[in-house]
Structure 1
Amino acid sequence: MIRTPLRPLARILDARARGQNPDTIEAANLAARHEEMKDRARLQAERRLRFLALGFIVAFSVIALRMGTLAATEPSELGTTSSGSEITAQRADILDRKGRILATNMMTHSLYVQTADLVDPARTASELARIFPDLDAETMLRRFTDGRSFLWVKKVLSPEQMQEVHEIGDPGLYFGPREMRLYPNGHLAAHILGGSAFGNEGVDSAEVIGTAGIEKALDTRLRDPAQSNTPLQLSIDLTLQANVEEVLGTAMKTLNAKGAAAILMDTHTGEILALASLPDFDPNDRPAPALTGDPSESPLFNRSVQGVYELGSTFKIFAVAQAMDLGLINENTEIDTKQPFVYDGFRINEFDNHNYGPTLPAWEVIAVSSNIGSAHLGLMIGGERQQAFLRTLGLLDPPKVELAEAPGARALVPKNWSGIVTVTASYGHGISTSLMNLAAAYATLGNGGLKITPTLIHSDTHTPGPRVVSEDTALAAVRMMRKVVTDGTATFADVPGYGVAGKTGTAEKPKKNGKGYDADKVINTFASVFPADNPKYVLIVTLDEPVETAGSKPRRTAGYTAVPVAGEIIRRIGPLVGLRPDGENPMGTLVAYKDPVAQE
């Protein structure tokens, strides 16, 4: 920039020549210079103001844009877990065979505290203790003020509780959305479903994992994101399940039993239509496992699957069926039943010391439930073949069904299958197995001799199992079991029109010290198939330590306890499964045997 001189020489000389004051020239030039400097300063200030205004506009635009973005998105909070894989909350629904919901998901909220944001910790702790009686105000206040920044208050809130917490108004209380598992039918089918709990947790989601039953056994499938919209359809029928549980519960109370169980199974597919174990629980509020006492007395214990019992005379039909299949006997072969019968120093007795004479035909050994006759059949077969046959039926292995508890239900089998084991196993003592295994074995006889593997999964296609016994043997076994109901130990299960066939079993429970059996404590079982002319269903009913007191003296046999219960179940469910009561169909030409229900 070229500055204009204040006293230019040419103008000064010219002014002097004309007699003017040259100082006025300097004053005018100085004033012009000041004006020029003011203009430049004003322009510079205007430029700065423009830049500052532009900066404010940009900053406030960014803030407004961010606020708009936050307002348009779902709120989120900091998680409690370290960064990692995303928590998958969605879990597939579980349905019964007719599409009715057994387990589903429900949106709810959790409650947690960011202690730095609490305004009045003492009041907040007091109000939370009022809303949640299981919480202690002093304990919460101590946790609010002990230096931690985050803590859970409740993992699941009801809408009413959430509203009450809202009304506390403390900004340190936060809600996190999450899915929880809901079982809309409460106790119904509790041991099948099992239950669930939260696994990995964040404040805005929680992973639901199975803890028991089918929820745990098929946890991977239920948690698979690719199948979250595809429900798992079970084989059970909710209506049949409700009826079975109702009858079983009434019987358990009436007969003063410690527990009860029942299994209803399709003889051709192995699909389980109902499975009950009492006492039970509500999977929405699954109790904690008992740390003391007998685990089998807990409501969490699934007697249908986890319980392994000596099932008594229900095993006798297997001895007869195997002997017939080996060609050793037929239905009318006379079997030795004379007393006394002592084997290897052990005396084999009949129930209530009955004496059935020197011999009985094979079908009558089953009808009157002769221990001695069954023992002789076992000896005819031999221990090695007997053990192999029972294992082929699946009776000596853990039950193969889709429940988390099944693999642990190992059959109790003697290491040395001696002669006396062969004798006692023929009438269901000395070995213990699961009711689920018993149901599958009876289904094998009921469907004509093809092995059945039980399942809780509904399917439209089923592959037949390998043949275990011939069709003729299986039909003969069912005919014999029909005689048990019409003329033997199970007459109270003779439901008119449905042709029930089955076998009773009254097994004394081993004493806790392992020395002998307790005659006053029994496991009573009735294993049945129906209709007898073409068995479609297997029903197993078991009662733990029942006592029937309607008569002059207490009665503990299956004929007076488990059998009437099974009869009532069949009477109720027969129409529900589409069976029309018909006249009796011929079941063979066996000679009738008449005797009151007294034997086991």
Structure 2
Amino acid sequence: MIRTPLRPLARILDARSRGENPEAIERENIRIRHEQMRDQSRQRAEGRLLVLGVFFLCAFAVVGGRMGLLATSEPSEPRAEAPGSIISASRADIVDRHGSLLATNFETHALYAQPPAMIDPAHSARELARIFTDLDEAALLKRFTGKRKFLWIKRKISPEQMQAVHEIGDPGLLFGPRDMRLYPNGTLAAHVLGGASYGKEGVSAAEVIGVAGVEKYFDDYLRDPANGNTPLELSLDLTVQAASERVLYGGMKLMNAKGATSILMDVYTGEVVSVVSLPSFDPNDRPRPATKGDASDSPLFNRSVQGVYELGSTFKIFTAAQAIDLGLVNAETMIETAGPMRVGGHSIGEFRGKNYGTISVADVIVHSSNRGTGRLALQIGAERQKAFLESLGFFEATPFEIVEASGGKPLLPSRWTDLSSVTISYGHGMSSSAMHLAAGYSAIANGGRKVEPTILKQRGPRMGPRVMSEEAARDARAMLRKVVTSGTASFGEVEGYAVGGKTGTADKPRPQGGYYTDKVIATFAAMFPANDPRYVLIVTLDEPVETSGDKPRRTAGWTAVPVAAEMIRRVAPLLGLRPTVEPVDLSGITLTSN
């Protein structure tokens, strides 16, 4: 830059020759230079303002365009895509129909080690084995002194255990935050909830995934961040579930059974208010699956949906109801039950060789006659019988929303002959689950509409297509009531609550073929109140033996029925059902005055 001098020599000499003041020249030059500097500063500032204005204009244009694009697009839930965001996502709670907590998340820590950073591996191994009794000191020391730079010690620890590890003071022992799944009620509803475990794991987080029950069936829903604050509402009633488990456990022990299951279902919605399978387990410490032996011996085995059995005489009411629905008979039609009766080269007998003679259809159910039911089945025919049972849902696994239910598909005969029709009419030759039976009895209880069992809370009735007429369902309910008042289920009467139901005792099949002579599946299928049923209750005992008498008794009337009666006595008030006051006979009462 070339600077102009403020006092140019030529002008000063010229000014002095003319007698002028040279300082005036200097002041004039200073003024001109200041004006030039101001002009340059103004131009520079105007340029900067122009650039800044253009920048803000572009920014507002981008924001406005993005807002317009969002306004015209379909709404969707944003999802983080950063690594580990899925791991750190929370899992929704599970609650019962009244909002009581069944499963939630609990903040805890995992323990891991970095062997290169450890000061005294031997001391750490010794102290860890003392804190965690399931760890082996020698095995820990071998791992700490190996070549690995990182290893897990415990996937989850309690605050007390964490403090104890802190006191070891080894910098190579570190903690990672964790969310663990907590079931505050312990074993309650264990087979429904199933359990959860860890999926992807990192030092700072681990994802919780369902491994069984509703935890696995609804895993996507529970893991979705959009549902983090919306719990999964089940149809279970926590108080009814607790009472049912207590009664069934006591009944199983009293009847010397190896296992048991019960199902309480709303006949209009299909909601399963209570479902129990024994023996049970604690989902907070879920045992490992059995690798050998009978699967039903494992506490993880869900007898309500996985247990597929011949359910015996509980099926007889379906035969009677279909025959009435088809117009072949009515409740008072007389049926010959005397022998002999041979079908397909096989003789059809009665329990303990009884002979009921000629009795009504209602008494066929009351006395539980195999021959009477078989003769009704022959009138119905194999094709119509198959279609009816299929309409009730007995040909496929139930749609009950736990993963184990898909494995409970009924076992059907390869050829549906006349002999098959007869034996199936009284519950042999076809195996199904207690959940299937509950859905079938619900159709009778609600007036003839199919109901699908569900574990989710419903907002109103959820009935399917009609499978039988209201008249046939009404007659069937009357027969079931008579079974309790004067038939094989006399121990099922509960004062104040009219109970209707049917017993079923089926010999257990041997793994190598044939049947045991001293092992049975005893079932009682009940509905209450019988005059206007609201609930169906199924109680099944595996290998029960009642030993209070001179001889061991295994039939459902002696084993499953008393357990079901006690369960109804306990849970009916919890369900809000008020007992009916029976009218009193006043003939022996004399009115007197004071």
Kept after mapping to 2: 8 A contact 1:317/1:477: yes
Give, in angstroms, the shift of residue 83 of structure 1.
5.4
Is residue 285 of structure 2 the alignment partner of residue 290 of structure 1? no
The corresponding residue for 1:558 is 556
Aligned equivalents of 2:312, 2:386: Cα separation in 1: 16
SS in 2 for 1:308: coil
Q: Unmatched 5+ residue regions in structure 2?
A: 1-81, 584-594
Give, in angstroms, the shift of residue 399 of structure 1.
1.2
Pick from 528, 534, 537 the counterpart of residue 536 of structure 1.
534
Aligned equivalents of 1:213, 1:86: Cα separation in 2: 22
Identity value in percent: 61
Give, in angstroms, the shift of residue 97 of structure 1.
0.7
The corresponding residue for 1:341 is 341
Kept after mapping to 1: 8 A contact 2:195/2:286: yes
Give, in angstroms, the shift of residue 116 of structure 1.
1.8
Aligned equivalents of 2:462, 2:280: Cα separation in 1: 33
The corresponding residue for 1:413 is 412
Is residue 380 of structure 2 the alignment partner of residue 378 of structure 1? no
Equivalent AA in structure 1 for residue 155 of structure 2: K
Aligned equivalents of 1:512, 1:347: Cα separation in 2: 24
Give, in angstroms, the shift of residue 526 of structure 1.
0.2
Is residue 337 of structure 2 the alignment partner of residue 325 of structure 1? no
Aligned equivalents of 2:567, 2:85: Cα separation in 1: 50
**Cα shift readout 1:1-27 (whole Å, capped 9, x = no counterpart):** xxxxxxxxxxxxxxxxxxxxxxxxxxx
Aligned equivalents of 2:90, 2:83: Cα separation in 1: 20
The corresponding residue for 1:434 is 433
Aligned equivalents of 2:249, 2:538: Cα separation in 1: 15
SS in 2 for 1:257: coil
Q: Unmatched 5+ residue regions in structure 1?
A: 1-81, 586-600
**Cα shift readout 1:339-396 (whole Å, capped 9, x = no counterpart):** 1111111111101111101x21000000000000010011110011101110110112
Give, in angstroms, the shift of residue 583 of structure 1.
4.3
SS in 2 for 1:504: strand
Equivalent AA in structure 1 for residue 558 of structure 2: Y
Pick from 572, 577, 580 the counterpart of residue 578 of structure 2.
580
Kept after mapping to 2: 8 A contact 1:89/1:205: no
The corresponding residue for 1:518 is 516
Give, in angstroms, the shift of residue 524 of structure 1.
0.3
Kept after mapping to 2: 8 A contact 1:506/1:558: yes
Equivalent AA in structure 1 for residue 412 of structure 2: V
Kept after mapping to 1: 8 A contact 2:89/2:225: no
The corresponding residue for 1:259 is 259
Equivalent AA in structure 1 for residue 114 of structure 2: Q
Aligned equivalents of 1:526, 1:558: Cα separation in 2: 6
The corresponding residue for 2:400 is 401
**Cα shift readout 1:132-177 (whole Å, capped 9, x = no counterpart):** 1211122112211221110001010011110000000011111111
The corresponding residue for 2:356 is 356
Kept after mapping to 2: 8 A contact 1:494/1:567: yes
The corresponding residue for 1:179 is 179
Give, in angstroms, the shift of residue 117 of structure 1.
1.2
Normalising by the residue count of structure 2, what TM-score does the alignment of the two structures yield? 0.83
Corresponding residue pairs, total? 502
The corresponding residue for 1:505 is 504
Alignment of 1:45-194 (within 5 A): 86-194=86-194
**Cα shift readout 1:409-430 (whole Å, capped 9, x = no counterpart):** 1110012111110110000000
Aligned equivalents of 1:495, 1:90: Cα separation in 2: 46
Kept after mapping to 2: 8 A contact 1:191/1:276: yes
Kept after mapping to 2: 8 A contact 1:89/1:178: no
Is residue 393 of structure 2 the alignment partner of residue 425 of structure 1? no
SS in 2 for 1:116: helix
Aligned equivalents of 1:569, 1:280: Cα separation in 2: 18
The corresponding residue for 1:51 is none
Kept after mapping to 2: 8 A contact 1:401/1:455: yes
SS in 2 for 1:214: helix
**Cα shift readout 1:301-344 (whole Å, capped 9, x = no counterpart):** 00011100000000000000000111100000111201111111
Give, in angstroms, the shift of residue 84 of structure 1.
6.3
Normalising by the residue count of structure 1, what TM-score does the alignment of the two structures yield? 0.82
Moved more, 463-472 or 381-390: 463-472
Equivalent AA in structure 2 for residue 483 of structure 1: K
Aligned equivalents of 1:528, 1:337: Cα separation in 2: 25
The corresponding residue for 1:549 is 547
Is residue 204 of structure 2 the alignment partner of residue 229 of structure 1? no
Find runs of 4+ consecutive structure 1 residues off by over 3 angstroms. 82-86
Structure 1 residues 105 and 277 mapped into 2: Cα distance closer, same or farther (>3 Å)?
same
Equivalent AA in structure 2 for residue 523 of structure 1: I
Kept after mapping to 2: 8 A contact 1:89/1:179: no
Aligned equivalents of 1:566, 1:463: Cα separation in 2: 26
Aligned equivalents of 1:441, 1:549: Cα separation in 2: 32
The corresponding residue for 1:568 is 566
Aligned equivalents of 1:155, 1:576: Cα separation in 2: 40
SS in 1 for 2:430: coil
Aligned equivalents of 1:86, 1:406: Cα separation in 2: 29
SS in 2 for 1:560: coil
SS in 2 for 1:226: helix
Give, in angstroms, the shift of residue 584 of structure 1.
5.9
Aligned equivalents of 1:374, 1:464: Cα separation in 2: 28
Give, in angstroms, the shift of residue 86 of structure 1.
3.8
SS in 1 for 2:239: helix
The corresponding residue for 1:205 is 205
Alignment of 1:294-309 (within 5 A): 294-309=294-309
Kept after mapping to 2: 8 A contact 1:88/1:225: no
